[in-house]
Amino acid sequence: MHVPDGFINAPVSVATGAVAAAAVAVSLRGARRELAGAGGVHGAERTAPLAGLVAAFIFAVQMLNFPVAAGTSGHLLGGALAAILVGPYTGVLCVSVVLLMQGVLFADGGLTALGVNITDMAIVTTVVAYALFRGLVKVLPRRRRSITVSAFVAALISVPAAAVAFTGIYALGGTADVPIGKVFTAMVGVHVLIGIGEAVITALTVGAVIAVRPDLVHGARGLTKPLELRTSPLAAPVAQDDVTTAAREEQPAPAAPRRSTRPVWLGGLAAALICAGGISYYASASPDGLEKVAHDQGIDAKAQDHAAKDSPLADYGVKDIADPRLSGGLAGVIGVGATLAVGSGVFVVLRRRKAADAVAGPAAAADEQHSEKA
């Protein structure tokens, strides 16, 4: 659903760019809390690299177009997956990083339409999916299966929601004179089918991570309740010495050492590299949902060439490498590496700022108290 240059006019492109910039700014602040939400500064040390990995994984899986109808394919959008794994604010940033890398390096999605794409594919999908996910989790039994089912439904609905959002944006700023009713029907119809693929990928990925490390899944936090020691009100009175002894025995045990996230990180990276570097060669070559609708309905009448169409990695292939398998695989590996580096860099900076604020907070309070005493 990457919108090219020329589909949306300049005023609406600028407006969506402002919306996207504001959403990214808000997400930067929210992501700092989410990254530390699993255990303060130490929690951020674990989750920041994983957030970068989520961005790289989404980039890789987006290369795997799957057929959904005659002559039409679809691919993962990733908003639901990112929001459930690392949180909605961090999820917006993950998908935004992916869209930025795709537009700049691979000429996929117009540069003037970057605001449109972030608004549609990063913000709408993440917000809709996470809101629906949280609502389902609250009413379903507190089980791991409920998380997977909720992820499936949330991902399924998020894709046609993005199609509706695009239709609204096109109604405001479309450059071709096309009846908006036809655009709506065509976009929603094909993206309902694409949503099924999105739901399957999201549910399988979330389920796999929960099976291994449920503590790393943002949407599964609080899934299990801590054990509580209860005593019967009919129990016999206990002597004071026994109370003291029992109190000592009930002192909390030393915290268990934090489990390393390295196996999960390495496994996720391996999966991303395999998808982008190998399986992507077998992806469907049919146009995706937006491309198909644009061609059939005439939306692409004023489409413009991408500014980076002659870049070394344009169209997910390395320039001057004749072998398509090698060219596409190498481009995919480069894309995974670049997305991982940029995404991890963003989240590491946020982690360090959170750590600095945690240290500066008590120091500032102490200075203030000292000034009041003086």
Specify whether the CB–CB gap between 118 and 3 falls below 8 A. Answer: no
The pLDDT tens digits for 154-186 are 999 999 999 999 999 999 999 999 999 999 999
- State the pLDDT at residue 222: 74
- State the pLDDT at residue 221: 84
- State the pLDDT at residue 258: 66
Nearest alpha carbon to residue 318 among 304, 302, 334: 334
Q: Which residues contact 38 (CB under 8 A, 6 or more apart)?
A: 46, 47, 215, 216, 218, 221
- State the pLDDT at residue 253: 47
The pLDDT tens digits for 187-236 are 999 999 999 999 999 999 999 999 999 989 999 987 754 434 445 455 55
Residues of the chain with pLDDT under 70: 37-46, 224-258, 354-374
- State the pLDDT at residue 142: 86
- State the pLDDT at residue 224: 52
Domains identified in the chain and CATH numbers = 10-219+261-373 (1.10.1760.20)
219-222, Cβ contacts within 8 angstroms, sequence gap of 24 or more: 219/83, 219/84, 219/85, 219/130, 219/133, 219/134, 219/137, 219/147, 219/150, 219/151, 220/144, 220/147, 221/37, 221/38
